[in-house]
Amino acid sequence: MYKGKKVVVVLPAYNAEKTIEMTYNEIPFDLVDEVILCDDASSDGTVEKAKEIGIQHIISHESNKGYGGNQKSLYNKALELGGDIIIMLHPDYQYTPKLIPSMVNIIGEGLYPVVLASRILGRGALVGGMPIYKYIANRFLTLTQNWLVRYKLSEYHTGYRAFSREVLETITFNENSDDFVFDNEMLSQIIYAKFQIAEVTCPTKYFEEASSINLPRSIKYGLGVLRVSFMHFLQRIGIAKFKLYKRNLSPAES
């Protein structure tokens, strides 16, 4: 726990048998109370490996529900377990769990309710081996998104994020896409709801076992990101309204 706040790490897994143990072993368990893994119908031994290393909360999807569908299961379970600070970490060892204390501290001290681990601050992405076409696409999309949503982030595409309970209870993440664009829909909802976002510099590693989407999926993702950003822009200036930005009411508001 951190000052009485329950800390939960969630791991969206797909064919992570070779990397899950490395990731799990770096989690700071003097701070983290619970770890939840959701296996999205992997074809390898991800679930067996998760049980072997001692992960207690394992969700198994019988059919593949997609990256967004995986996260929905994880966040709902984290809230069910009473999580106050929820960290989403990929179990492919592309991001280091050693940043968890810093991310928890920022939320636990009430400085920001959302923290993103950015690969773009500094030179973490290129030094870590991010393909140059992905780097260029990341920079183009981020520049466009910053202009359309009227916010300023170094990147919107990191898979390493931390949220306060209030954020997850406010935004309607269960209504989002089950695909990769889920991440950007969440950030768009968070920004529209006027939650402030912090960023911390994050080194990253690109290697054979690290998960990565192929070029056709990357193009589909990029187009989805632009669609969400234009929706945010139209909602922000009052031309249109989208259910994406509908908020859950707190008990005091209802």
Q: Average pLDDT of 175-187?
A: 96
Chain segment 46-80, per-residue pLDDT in tens:
999 999 999 999 999 999 999 999 999 999 999 99
Tell me which residue of 231, 124, 216, 205 sits closest to 179, measured CA to CA: 216
Contact 83, 34 (CB under 8 A): yes
Nearest residue to 76 via CA among 2, 176, 181: 176
State the pLDDT at residue 121.
81
Per-residue model confidence (pLDDT) at position 31: 97
**Beta-strand runs (E) in 5-142:** 7-13, 34-39, 57-60, 85-88, 114-118
Domains and CATH numbers, the chain: 7-245 (3.90.550.10)
pLDDT, tens digit, for every residue of 120-136? 887 666 666 677 877 88
At 7-26, the pLDDT tens digits run 999 999 999 999 999 999 99
Three-class SS state of 230: helix
DSSP-assigned letter for residue 143? H
